[in-house]
Amino acid sequence: MRYTFPALTVLALTGSLVAGPAVPASAAAITLESSQPTVVVGERGRGVWTTFTARGAGASVRAMDLELTGPDGSRTLIDLVRRDGSDRWTGSFSFNRFDAPGKWGGALFVRDEAGGEKKAARLMFHVKRRTTLSAVAPSGRGGGVNGALRRLGETGGFAPYAGQKVRLYKWTGGAWKLVETTVTGGKGKYAFAKRSGRLQVRYAGTAVNAASVKTAP
């Protein structure tokens, strides 16, 4: 189960999350990880499910809550559930284009059988919006490589992405070799000189927009 709160509301609740007696030392070695270090959200509001897993809690822990904090200050609380009587606790969250892109943080709170509560682990991960590169010229034709870079907007549509570096690679000697770099124009367009062979265009991405790769068929 998850609960999403405005930033100011959750700030008022934070004190209740950390109050109370300390959790026994058995909870001190808890590890926390995300199934996706970088979550890439797509169009049409489709959610991307990400699973968070905590291990090493020990038998004295009775409950776990994971508080996620977005770069815009929004906070979401996720219940983690023990799986199959093991020390593995998991919970999931679906990210979509309405979630703020950038660096997210997670703080894990555990409660023991005596009612004590403590912050036991942290993690960091990124949420990025999808980008696309248009088709690369087919290999062997010797034509120019022209296309456009677009990025996903909060409304769900893709828009031209200007002022971004795009790199052209060629398959040579069993590896991709960088042959040219250019910058997208006002409509997100890019153009490289005529080349033959197997080609690939790459965009490295930013802190909020995902990388993209397009290879000639």
Bridge partners for 78 per DSSP: 2, 66
**H helix or E strand, kind and range, residue 14:** helix 7-18
State whether residue 27 is helix, strand or coil.
Answer: helix
Q: Which CATH entry fits the domain spanning 2-128: 3.30.1370.160, 3.40.190.10, 2.60.40.1930, 3.20.20.30? A: 2.60.40.1930
CATH number belonging to domain 131-215: 2.60.40
One digit per residue, pLDDT tens: the chain, 217 residues? 555 544 433 322 233 333 333 444 344 589 999 999 999 998 766 789 999 999 988 888 889 999 999 999 999 999 999 987 788 999 999 999 899 999 999 999 999 887 888 889 999 999 999 999 987 665 555 567 889 999 998 777 899 999 999 999 999 999 999 999 999 998 999 999 888 888 999 999 999 999 999 997 6
Among candidate residues 2, 92, 104, 110, the one with its CA nearest the CA of residue 55: 110
Among candidate residues 160, 169, 170, the one with its CA nearest the CA of residue 131: 160
DSSP state of 25: G
For CATH 2.60.40.1930, the residue range(s) in the chain are 2-128
Q: Are 106 and 122 in contact (CB under 8 A)?
A: yes
Put simply, whether the predicted model's pTM sits higher than 0.85 gets the answer no
Bridge partners for 188 per DSSP: none
